[in-house]
Each structure stands twice: as structure tokens, then as C-alpha cells.
Amino acid sequence: MGTDDKMDNKLEELGGKAKETVGRATDDEELEAQGERDQTKSNLKQAGEKVKDAFKR
């Protein structure tokens, strides 16, 4: 997994956490759910990249 990919995925995860936190603080369920989806998507990408890395060895 390239460093750029790791950074992009981590930034997406952090952005999702921020959206979730703001959504929770403002009682915006849609924004909170969007943040959770962003985090899940990022985690799936990271897992996929780890699988690719494992097969490269």
C-alpha cells in the first residue's frame, strides 16, 4: 500500500469522524450517518490494501 493511499484513507477516516461528531453535536442524524459511512468506507479500503500487501510478499 502506497504512502499516499494510506494518507488518503486516514484523512477520509478522520473526516468521517469529524462529520459524525458534528452531526451528533448538532443533532443532525444524516450528517452523523454520513460520517459513519465515510469511516466504514475508509476502513474497507485499508483492509483491501492490507490484503494486497500480504499477497505481494
Q: What are phi and psi of 37, to 5 degrees?
A: -65, -45
Which residue segment(s) compose the domain that 37 sits in?
Answer: 3-56
DSSP letters spanning 41-56: HHHHHHHHHHHHHHHH
Sign of CA pseudo-dihedral 23, 29, 33, 36: positive
Question: Under a CB-based contact definition with an 8 Å cutoff, are residues 8 and 52 in contact?
Answer: no
Regions in the chain scoring below 50 on pLDDT: none
Question: Whole-prediction pTM value?
Answer: 0.82
Domains in the chain: how many in total?
1
